[in-house]
Amino acid sequence: MKTSDFNFDLPAELLAEHPSEHRDEARLMVLDRKTQTIEHKLFKDVVDYFDEKDLFIFNNTKVFPARLYGNKEKTGAKIEVFLLRELDKETRVWDVLVDPARKIRIGNKLFFTEDESLVAEVIDNTTSRGRTLRFLFDGSYEEFRAKLKELGETPLPKYIKRAVEPEDAERYQTIYAKIEGAVAAPTAGLHFSKHLMKRLEIKGIDFAEITLHVGLGTFNPIEVEDLSKHKMESEEVFIDEKNAEIINRAVEGHRRVCAVGTTTMRALETSVSSNKKISAFHGWTNKFIYPPHDFGVANSMITNFHTPKSTLIMMIAAFAGRDFVMHAYEEAVKEKYKFYSYGDAMLIL
C-alpha cells in the first residue's frame, strides 16, 4: 500500500469551521461492510443500529487549553507556544511547539503575563519547531496549572482559520471527557449528546471507557510513499481492569462492539492479545494501522471524515476495505458532507 492510494480531491469548503448546531444532528453516513451499501442518516439515528447488550467503547480523554501566547524578552515579539506534554511536574518542564520557531533559541525567555508572574525559559531544541521549556512560577503546582488553564485557549486545529470562540471550550470536548491530557479532541465522540446517551442506555446498550491522550501527531502528514516507513508519534494509553472485563464480556458474547473513534481503535488494537482478549494496560502506543490489518476487538466503529493521505483514512480503509472507503469518500464529497474535527460522522458496520 502506498500513500498515494489514499488521495482524493477535497474541496476546501467541506472542511468544517464550526460544529453542527446540535451535537447529535450532524450527518451520519452508514457503511455496511457485508452488503457494501451506504445509507445517509443523522447522527442520532445511530441508536437504531444497536441492540441490548451491544457495547460502545469511548475515549474519555479531556482536551486542555494547550495554546498560549507569550512575548519574547527584549524584542517583545509575539510567540505562540503549544503545550504538548509535561515532562517533569516538580521542575515544570514541558515539551512544546513554538511559532515562529526561528526566533526561539536556548536561553531565551518568554513572558506570558504583564506582571511577569509566568515566565518560561527555553532549555532545549527538540525538532525544527519543538522546544523544551522550564516554566518559572511562584506558587503551588495547582496554582501553576490553574494559571496555564486561565491563559491557554482551546487548541483548535490549524486548518480552522477563524478565531477561537467561547463555545469552542465546550464543543471541542466530548460530554464524557474526564481525564485531562489531550491536545486534540477524539472527534468521533463530539457527536454524542446527553439525550442520545440516555436513549442508548434505555435501550440496554453497555458502555466502556478507555483513555488515549490524543497528541498532535494525529495531524502529521505522511511524508513517505511507502507506508511501512512511516513512524507514528507515541500517545499515552490507559485501560483499567474493570473496562477490560466489560469489553471482553461483550466480545465473548458475540455482541456488536463499537469503537468510537480511531483513537479508541488504536488503544484497543495496542492492548489486545492474540486470543482476542483485552488486558489492563498503561503505556505508550505508536501503532500505525493500515491495510491489511486483522482487528481483534471492535466489529463496528464510528469515525469522522478524514483528510486525504492521512493515517486516519488508512485505518478506516484497513477496517472497511480500501475500495469501499474511497467510494464512500467520493460519495461524501458529492453529497457535501463536512470533513475533519468539527465535521460529520461515519458508522461502519
Q: In what order do the strands lie in the sheet with 257-260?
A: 37-42, 27-32, 345-348, 300-304, 257-260, 55-59, 206-212, 235-239, 281-285
Kindly give the confidence (pLDDT) of every residue in the chain, 349 residues in length, as a single tens digit, with 9 standing for 90 and above: 899 999 999 999 999 999 999 999 999 999 999 999 999 999 999 999 999 999 999 999 999 999 999 999 989 999 999 999 999 999 999 999 999 999 899 999 999 999 999 999 999 998 888 999 999 999 999 999 999 999 999 999 988 999 999 999 999 999 999 999 999 999 999 999 999 999 999 999 999 999 999 988 777 789 999 999 999 989 999 999 999 999 999 999 999 999 999 999 999 999 999 889 999 999 999 999 999 999 999 999 999 999 999 999 999 999 999 999 999 999 999 999 999 999 999 999 9
Picking from 63, 340, 64, 44, the residue whose alpha carbon sits closest to that of residue 192 is 44
Please give the CATH number for the structural domain made up of 67-151. 2.40.10.240
Domain 3-63+169-348 and domain 67-151 have a common topology: no
Rounded-to-integer distance, Cα 280 and Cα 271, Å: 8
Picking from 223, 304, 295, 263, the residue whose alpha carbon sits closest to that of residue 43 is 304
The set of residues, in sequence order, having a beta carbon less than 8 Å from that of 11 and lying 6+ positions away, is 333
The set of residues, in sequence order, having a beta carbon less than 8 Å from that of 81 and lying 6+ positions away, is 67, 68, 69, 70, 96, 97, 98, 110, 120, 133
- Give the DSSP H/E element, type plus range, for residue 334: helix 322-334
- 110: its cell numbers: 518568554
Rounded-to-integer distance, Cα 177 and Cα 170, Å: 11
Please give the CATH number for the structural domain made up of 3-63+169-348. 3.40.1780.10
CB-CB neighbours of 118 under 10 Å: 21
- 302: its cell numbers: 464510528
Rounded-to-integer distance, Cα 86 and Cα 33, Å: 41
- Give the DSSP H/E element, type plus range, for residue 257: strand 257-260
Q: What are the structural domain ranges in the chain?
A: 3-63+169-348, 67-151
Picking from 189, 212, 210, the residue whose alpha carbon sits closest to that of residue 200 is 189
